[in-house]
């Protein structure tokens, strides 16, 4: 099992592009082979930035990020937003 796709609306599952660039897809899972399979699918769908947050226990944190995504959409009255991990 791999957790993915829950921090963005379904209209952006394929070819996710926003005015300020491409978002980050966060994934979590215990099986490395399964994560590679999901990573390949994400690449095919146009996701160039995928970050593995570790084991499936991390899915709890991904659910929290989903709640934030929903709250932002409710406040804005629009669902055209995503998250991007910036490192530096």
> 20 in a domain, yes or no?
yes
Please tell me the predicted confidence (pLDDT) of residue 45: 97
Please tell me the predicted confidence (pLDDT) of residue 59: 96
> 26 in a domain, yes or no?
yes
* pLDDT, mean over the chain: 96
> 83 in a domain, yes or no?
no
Please tell me the predicted confidence (pLDDT) of residue 71: 98
Q: For residue 28, what are its two tokens?
A: 């979590």
Q: What is the rounded average pLDDT of the residues 36-54?
A: 97
Residues 50-77: pLDDT tens digits?
999 999 999 999 999 999 999 999 999 9
Domain that holds residue 61: 2-76
> 7 in a domain, yes or no?
yes
Please tell me the predicted confidence (pLDDT) of residue 1: 94
Q: Residue 71: which CATH number?
A: 3.40.50.720
Q: Is the pTM of this model over 0.85?
A: yes
> 23 in a domain, yes or no?
yes
| Residue 7, Cβ density class (10 Å: 0-12 exposed, 13-18 middle, ≥19 buried) | buried
Closest CA to 65 of 83, 47, 53, 87: 83
Q: How many domains does the chain have?
A: 1
> 41 in a domain, yes or no?
yes
């Amino acid at each position: 099992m791999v957790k993915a796709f829950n921090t963005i609306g379904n209209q952006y599952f394929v070819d996710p592009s926003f005015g300020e660039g491409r978002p980050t897809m966060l994934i979590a899972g215990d099986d490395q082979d399964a994560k590679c399979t999901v990573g390949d699918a994400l690449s095919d769908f146009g996701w160039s930035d995928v970050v593995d947050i570790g084991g499936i226990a991390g899915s709890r944190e991904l659910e929290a990020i989903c709640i934030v995504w929903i709250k932002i959409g409710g406040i804005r009255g629009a669902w055209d937003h995503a998250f991007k991990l910036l490192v530096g």
